[in-house]
Structure 1
């Protein structure tokens, strides 16, 4: 009876403990590996989703360029009431906002500014030099929003228009004439029986800002909880004032090339940076290049790579500063850039209203 009641010996207990520790250690390693895999996959999903949002928003605006309700830009009259309703924001004033033809510098349905060390457009437009990512391009697009108001010889939405005196609208008689205006609906011309369509007027300016959530009105080192994250911004008109809204964060660099087509090129587009576009009226497509970055560090491997976006090329090195060429003062995200996952994307958007005439 005494022999049968004996417990484990010390050696048996130690062996059992060692085996148990080995099993627990294996489970911990499995958990850590799964967590790292989850973080890597989440980071990839973050990058892909950010690039999808950026390409969708940019692509939609580019496809709407020079939509004037069935008329060409040269057939659109700009009433003085349209420019007068815009509050000046530096060089981004009423005349600039409604410059839908290329007779005005910076005008037309599409116009680009090549990236520079400081904002290539008046810094007042974007709230100061600190709110611009050096080396990134600026894109300006003008068009009429396709959400047409109620049509008719006198649009049924006339009361809606007069009730929004600070908004600019396009009144179009397709294939005949169109007019940008604000306030009261212009009198029918030349035929009072023709159908007229009213559209809200849009101007979009896309640029990169060094942060998403600013401290006050400026991107500082304390923005975004102390980790400023470069963000794709869209500046637009809202009741006569220019406002900037974040489109998506995590966009590190943005460059755009413009496809010019002419008789000299056999009507096949040749892509140039904004500074090298010969005639903006001949631009029929845009080639957009962007790089997205995941703000969560990944120390599993050094994420070294070279990214070429138009005339800007930069290389992420392991353990040393990044090298840049043609990027005009640009610095990649992070104090140690090689610890952050990046992804690049390039896509071409056809300016369908240009191609269709």
Structure 2
């Protein structure tokens, strides 16, 4: 009299199944929405960090103290000098403050297919990669551009006195400012000394608590030819870095990488370990803006020539002079979420296009987006 019939039990089970089905559907939709928003957030976060990092470094191109490399080149003879052996060590060629390398078949109006497992180390570049650069970035992703930057750090220390042989000077400064001179490098050996007349990049023979000695060091091929005056000269650490997109096979992840070329006092060239800065960067494309006047003594101040690294390299017989007339960089990136964000993203019909290059994404469910910006090289601005 107090029990349930079989029909009542079956009706209760059906109602329970319908309720559970609704709960599962709500949970699945919520989970998909969360994965989608998480993927979009990670893409946006990584893009901001990657853009900020590259913009900050690109704006330093051409910084050589009181005036930039372009201003030094306008003097006759040019007053930007280096004692370094750039023939043996192209990575230390400070006559090229910025130099790009365009991956083959990635100029505007070309199509590039992205792969879930990208190939590395096989693409040709224009201009060709120097051997010391190619050997340092063997995990570089094919079809992505590369840029090398060289400059003097923004913070320097005033030279309080200069002693020694004029060709092997010793630059003395306030030892309390050594941390400023090191600028985050434990044992720096590459320096630049500059005033408003000239700048010289060199390897130190020795570094003391309050002095840097120039002269006979392994990476130097010449001695000092410029004289500097106490009270006007500033001493800086010299920086040579390369940015590229690399692939970490262990974690199956592409990232924006940085490699730093350094040397200790009186030491050999040190190629730093590639540093993964931002994960999810799949491709990097760059176009360079040159001044309207390439062959004139002074630039016009108008940046109206846009082209790839190959175009810049071939615009003048002297590549260093051509790169000195680069005053802006257009930067484009393809960035993906670290993990699959939603199944529908794999068939997203929205085209991935940046710097005139169209990308075809793999069917792996990751969120992808393109980001681009234009960077004015502040040390190349007209009149600086």
Instruction: Give the structure-1-normalised TM-score.
Output: 0.75
Count of residues paired in the alignment: 304
* Of 151-160 and 292-301, the range deviating more from structure 2: 151-160
1:52 partnered with 2:48: yes
* Pairs within 5 Å for 1:109-148: 109-116=97-104, 118-120=123-125, 121-122=129-130, 125-127=133-135, 131-148=139-156
**Cα distance, 1:97 vs. partner?**
2.9
Give ranges in structure 1 of 5+ residues lacking alignment: 85-90, 102-107, 213-222, 317-333
Give ranges in structure 2 of 5+ residues lacking alignment: 73-78, 105-121, 162-171, 207-211, 215-223, 264-268, 295-299, 316-321
Aligned partners of 1:109 and 1:143 also within 8 Å: yes
Aligned partners of 1:62 and 1:351 also within 8 Å: yes
Match of 1:288 in 2: 331
* Pairs within 5 Å for 1:200-215: 200-209=237-246, 211-212=247-248
Match of 2:278 in 1: 248
Aligned partners of 1:303 and 1:341 also within 8 Å: no
Aligned partners of 2:158 and 2:233 also within 8 Å: no
Match of 2:91 in 1: 97
Aligned partners of 1:259 and 1:285 also within 8 Å: yes
1:235 partnered with 2:264: no
Residues 71 and 183 (structure 1), Cα distance of their counterparts in 2 relative to 1, 3 Å cut? farther
Measure, in 2, the Cα distance between the counterparts of 1:191 and 1:252. Answer: 46
Measure, in 2, the Cα distance between the counterparts of 1:134 and 1:283. Answer: 25
**Cα distance, 1:127 vs. partner?**
3.5
Aligned partners of 1:257 and 1:287 also within 8 Å: yes
Aligned partners of 1:235 and 1:242 also within 8 Å: yes
Measure, in 2, the Cα distance between the counterparts of 1:280 and 1:191. Answer: 27
Residues 70 and 270 (structure 1), Cα distance of their counterparts in 2 relative to 1, 3 Å cut? same
**Cα distance, 1:146 vs. partner?**
1.5
Match of 2:116 in 1: none
1:314 partnered with 2:359: yes
**Cα distance, 1:295 vs. partner?**
4.3
Partner of residue 12 from structure 2, selected from 10, 16, 22:
16
**Cα distance, 1:124 vs. partner?**
5.1
Deviations 1:243-290 (A, max 9, x none): 221121211111100011224888242211111122222211000011
Match of 1:341 in 2: 367
Instruction: Give the structure-2-normalised TM-score.
Output: 0.70
Residues 276 and 36 (structure 1), Cα distance of their counterparts in 2 relative to 1, 3 Å cut? same
* CA-atom RMSD in angstroms: 3.1
Looking at both structures, which has the greater relative contact order when contacts are Cα pairs under 8 Å and sequence separation is at least 6?
A: 2
**Cα distance, 1:207 vs. partner?**
1.4
